[in-house]
Amino acid sequence: MPSASENQQALFQVIFSETGKGAAYLAEEDGKTYVVHNGSAGKQYATVGAVSLSADGRRIAYGALEDGKWRMVSDGKEGEVFNTVKSPVFSPDGKHLAYLAMKGEKWYVVVDDMPNSGTSGNYSNLQFNADSNLIAYVENQAVNKRVRLIISDLRFGSQHVKQSAGNLLVASNDKTRLAATQIVNNKLRVIDFSFAEPEVVNEGQLYDGVDLLAVGDDGASVSYVAVKSTTRFLVLNNREEPLPEGDLPGLPVVRPDKKGAGILMARPNGVFLRQAFFHSTEKGKMYDEAANLVYSPDSRFYALAARKGQGWFIVVNGKEGPGFDRVVSPIFSPDGKKVVYRARKAGKRFVVVADTNGKTIKQHPEYEQVFQPVFSPDGKSVAYGVKDGRKLICEVEKLD
């Protein structure tokens, strides 16, 4: 990828697409900010907001401030003037762009430069469906405080509305299903349904409180934390298991086999893994920090990043890998036989491939920055973006 000219200063914020095939970063010159996308510099603005890339990395969108007004800039084209714009989201096929905008006293959802009718409240949680022909979002009405969940076509002509919804709205990874909270007689329940048939709803039990809503990779399993009276539960597909005392620093993670779910829990003396709904011989080791819980595709293994003292390491089914200055975001290979994660040591960052005992198989080359890896379709290689000086590069490496 071509580098910027010598008078351009690359900022810390670098964005790679989901596939690692496209990249963008912010740069400054003479007090102005601009975006460099796939080697091409855009127009300079007073300020640039959040940057979003399409999945294939070919398209880009970001809010830009000029003369006190905001516009959404898409592929170099400036949109309508608003008081503010935010949350640009591309559809899965990359053909459509949605974002939130405010003009006067009203907020709008804008899709392909067309705003909806707006609300004096606000909107949140924009979600496209897998076919890129529907969008879902939450509307908070200012006058009567009602919350509505809306599933709409992209021209806002045909809409399905669910009243008394909560602010939580989560889409499955494959963008075919949605899970949300719903308020019923001052109680909360979780509902889930498909984009294609939003009128067919699975309704969960009523609780005093619901939080940390997650949808499994199968698109059908729903897990969350619920409170009934003084008891806190981890819920998976309407099954309940009481949770022990402890804070909850992250979302529950559903096992691919749907037999259970795991969640990290924190106490004053450390963080441990709680696995629910199935028999586990894992005693839940205590770590100073832990994050990024993930399960293998066959559910035989889990992995997480953990810290004891100054050292970070990978943990696979309780077995600890070598120590680094930092470890983040483990993922399993499609065959479940390898774990890939990013690590940092002595200021350099790199990708590590490990076996299911946490033992290092291969350490990839070192770079200034390394971004989240993705697997090739055959599962034999891994691709990821790197920053090396002024260069932004997509690397593809064999797993072995």
Look at residues 98, 59, 97, 63 and name the one whose alpha carbon lies nearest to residue 83.
Answer: 63
pLDDT band (50, 70, 90) for residue 122: very high
For residues 396 and 295, state if they share a domain: yes
pLDDT at residue 4 tops 60: no
Choose one of 264, 280, 296: the last residue of a domain.
280
Q: What is the pLDDT of residue 9?
A: 40
For residues 305 and 397, state if they share a domain: yes
Q: What is the pLDDT of residue 16?
A: 84
| Higher per-residue confidence, 319 vs 220 | 319
For residues 136 and 160, state if they share a domain: yes
Helix (H) or strand (E) holding 16: strand 9-16
Q: What is the pLDDT of residue 377?
A: 81
The region, left, alpha or beta by phi > 0 then psi within -120 to 50, assigned to residue 300 is: alpha
Choose one of 53, 81, 109: the last residue of a domain.
81
What tens digit of pLDDT does each residue of 213-245 get? Answer: 999 988 889 999 999 999 999 999 999 999 999
**Phi, psi at 304, each rounded to 5°:** -155, 160
Q: What is the mean pLDDT of residues 144-153?
A: 88
For residues 300 and 389, state if they share a domain: yes
pLDDT at residue 279 tops 70: no
Q: What is the mean pLDDT of residues 83-95?
A: 97
Q: What is the pLDDT of residue 187?
A: 94
Q: What is the pLDDT of residue 8?
A: 38
For residues 24 and 92, state if they share a domain: no
For residues 384 and 311, state if they share a domain: yes
pLDDT at residue 13 tops 80: no
For residues 185 and 212, state if they share a domain: no
Q: What is the pLDDT of residue 323?
A: 97
Burial 228-242 (b: 16+ CB within 10 A, else e): eeeebbbbbbeebee
What tens digit of pLDDT does each residue of 25-38 get? Answer: 898 989 999 999 99
pLDDT band (50, 70, 90) for residue 2: very low
Residues constituting the chain: 400
* Contact call for residues 45 and 66 (beta carbons, < 8 A): yes
Query: Of all residues in the chain, what percent carry a pLDDT higher than 90?
Result: 78
For residues 201 and 304, state if they share a domain: no
Choose one of 177, 206, 235: the last residue of a domain.
206
What tens digit of pLDDT does each residue of 157-185 get? Answer: 999 999 888 888 999 999 999 999 999 99
Q: What is the pLDDT of residue 145?
A: 72
Domain containing 110 equals 88-206
Helix (H) or strand (E) holding 232: strand 231-236
Q: What is the pLDDT of residue 385?
A: 87
For residues 200 and 270, state if they share a domain: no
What tens digit of pLDDT does each residue of 48-74 get? Answer: 999 999 999 999 999 999 999 999 999
Average pLDDT, the chain: 91
* Contact call for residues 87 and 99 (beta carbons, < 8 A): yes
Q: What CATH number does residue 105 fall under?
A: 2.120.10.30
pLDDT at residue 82 tops 50: yes
pTM of the model: 0.87
Query: Of all residues in the chain, what percent carry a pLDDT higher than 70?
Result: 95
Q: What is the pLDDT of residue 283?
A: 56
Distance, in Å, from the CA atom of 338 to the CA atom of 321, rounded to the nearest integer, reads 13
| Higher per-residue confidence, 218 vs 356 | 356
Domain count for the chain, please give it: 4
Q: What is the pLDDT of residue 167?
A: 82
For residues 77 and 1, state if they share a domain: yes
For residues 73 and 134, state if they share a domain: no
Q: Which two tokens stand for residue 368?
A: 């200034």
| Higher per-residue confidence, 195 vs 21 | 195
For residues 335 and 276, state if they share a domain: no
